[in-house]
Chain A
Amino acid sequence: MKSPLRSRAWVRIALVAGLVASPSLLRAQEAGQGLSAETKSILGSPEAGDGLDADVIAVLGRPEGGKLSESAVNELATDVAAKLRCPVCQGVSIADSPSGMATKMRGQVRDLVAKGYSEDQVMSYFEHSYGEFVRLEPPLRGLNVMLWILPGAVLLGGAWFVFRKANQPVTLPAAQGAAPEGAPGPKDVDPELAKYLERIRRDSGTSS
């Protein structure tokens, strides 16, 4: 049987422990407030992995990619980073930019891949907040189809035009006068020279 002294000591220890733990419990409670039931269920399930962020779950749901090895995570994260545009740079991927924001975005990509999110999921996470602009390569859908088709169509159209022009028979101006074949016609002669030509013809008796 426990002595009353010992049980009082346990009560004291429990009280002190409770006091020490309460601020962090309160904080955890504050942090968990307002989460949707689905987010809470995913956050609480051990198979979904630890450290998932509520905002990521709200956008993407559960990870669909499966767990990868360290090297596979690095490889996939590098691939995905090369396809995401750095929002504070000019036409550079986050893989190629040394800016602080790009570094943080690379960190987030790696984090999401390590948590088991697939490439498509990671891309749509960034697209959700930055819009389609964040994809370096515009996806083949909607008006974007024009971006993929127009350059080829213009190139083919141009090639057809050049080919047609090149194969057209050359129409020479209608021959005038009795100029021998190969000799320049009246339209081809420099007007300055024409008067000398006319004089030669007149002197030689070949004037037309």
Chain B
Amino acid sequence: MNKGVLAVGLVVTVPLIGLLLVNIHRDPTSISSPLIDKPAPDVRLMELSGGGSVQLSSLKGRPVVVNFWATWCIPCVQEHASLTAGARANPDVAFLGVVYEDTAENARGFLAQRGGAAYPSYADDDGKASIAFGVYGVPETFFIDSKGTIVEKYVGPLDGDTLRQRLALARR
């Protein structure tokens, strides 16, 4: 075989095979976020009722789970029961929902239909919280440790086991 052709072929294919081997075990639901190991964005979230607000940094001192969701998002509906059970089983963790691209009215209706919420959800009408967290779509869940550092971002519906594993990271 022509040595030149072989050399060019190797130069093209070896890096591609390397890239495949490096990423073959990567979890596609764990989209890397530039915010991992950085302080959580100190957003102010408005209550769904339009009344009060909460500044995220005021929750420092305990692990926080921030779940971006919407009523039109099927995977969000699927994970709702796991999150509700998780919030009830872990009273030391602050669970928050942030409504993404949806109305407060829809969110309130959704939660009322399911017998009320186990944790508060907040509106993000101007999208500033979603932008500050670099949200691409829903559901996306951020796990924040008690120092206010984002330790994990989970993309897709959470089940009980995944939630427990990620909570352990936020508790460390």
Q: Which of A11-19, A126-134, A180-188 contacts B (4 or more CB under 8 A)?
A: A126-134
Residues B131 and A129 in contact, CB atoms below 8 Å apart? yes
Residues B58 and A129 in contact, CB atoms below 8 Å apart? no
In the complex, whether B28 has a CB less than 8 A from a CB of chain A is: no
Residues B127 and A35 in contact, CB atoms below 8 Å apart? no
In the complex, whether A91 has a CB less than 8 A from a CB of chain B is: no
Known pairs A35-B42, A107-B127; list 7 more (Cβ under 8 Å). A34-B60, A34-B148, A55-B42, A55-B132, A87-B134, A101-B101, A126-B131
Q: Interface code B14-50, partner A: CB below 8 Å = 1, 0 otherwise?
A: 0000000000000000001111000101111000000
Contact among B52, B55, B130, B131 with A33 in the assembled complex (CB-CB below 8 Å) = B55
Top 8 A-B pairs, shortest CB-CB distance? A104-B127, A34-B57, A129-B134, A33-B58, A55-B41, A54-B42, A131-B34, A130-B134
Residue of A nearest to B136 (CB): A87
Say yes or no: A30-B136 contact (C-beta < 8 A), given A35-B42, A107-B126, A129-B131: no
**What are 18 contact pairs spanning A and B, CB under 8 A?**
A27-B53, A32-B55, A34-B42, A34-B55, A34-B58, A36-B57, A55-B43, A59-B41, A104-B130, A105-B127, A108-B128, A127-B34, A128-B34, A128-B35, A129-B33, A129-B41, A129-B133, A129-B134
- CB of B110 to closest CB in A, whole Å: 18
Residues B55 and A35 in contact, CB atoms below 8 Å apart? yes
In the complex, A59 Cα to B38 Cα: how many Å?
Answer: 11
Interface size of B as a range: 20 to 34
In the complex, whether B59 has a CB less than 8 A from a CB of chain A is: yes
Residues B57 and A35 in contact, CB atoms below 8 Å apart? yes
In the complex, whether B54 has a CB less than 8 A from a CB of chain A is: yes
- Chain A residues near B128: list those with CB within 8 A: 53, 55, 104, 108
In the complex, whether B116 has a CB less than 8 A from a CB of chain A is: no
In the complex, whether B137 has a CB less than 8 A from a CB of chain A is: yes
- Chain B residues near A100: list those with CB within 8 A: 101, 127
Say yes or no: A129-B42 contact (C-beta < 8 A), given A33-B55, A33-B58, A100-B101: no
- Chain A residues near B41: list those with CB within 8 A: 55, 58-59, 129
In the complex, A100 Cα to B124 Cα: how many Å?
Answer: 12
Say yes or no: A58-B52 contact (C-beta < 8 A), given A33-B57, A129-B132: no
In the complex, A107 Cα to B124 Cα: how many Å?
Answer: 13
In the complex, whether A31 has a CB less than 8 A from a CB of chain B is: yes
Say yes or no: A131-B33 contact (C-beta < 8 A), given A34-B60, A104-B126: yes
Residues A105 and B60 in contact, CB atoms below 8 Å apart? no
- Most chain B C-beta atoms within 10 Å of own C-beta, residue among A31, A53, A55, A129: A55
- List CB contacts (< 8 Å) of B88-140 with chain A: 101, 126-128, 130-134, 136-137
In the complex, A100 Cα to B138 Cα: how many Å?
Answer: 13
- CB of A148 to closest CB in B, whole Å: 19
- Chain A residues near B131: list those with CB within 8 A: 104-105, 108, 126, 129
- CB of A91 to closest CB in B, whole Å: 14
- CB of A77 to closest CB in B, whole Å: 15
Residues B127 and A54 in contact, CB atoms below 8 Å apart? no
- CB of A56 to closest CB in B, whole Å: 8
In the complex, whether A97 has a CB less than 8 A from a CB of chain B is: no
- CB of A16 to closest CB in B, whole Å: 20
Residues B55 and A54 in contact, CB atoms below 8 Å apart? yes
- Chain A residues near B53: list those with CB within 8 A: 27, 30-31
Residues B43 and A129 in contact, CB atoms below 8 Å apart? no
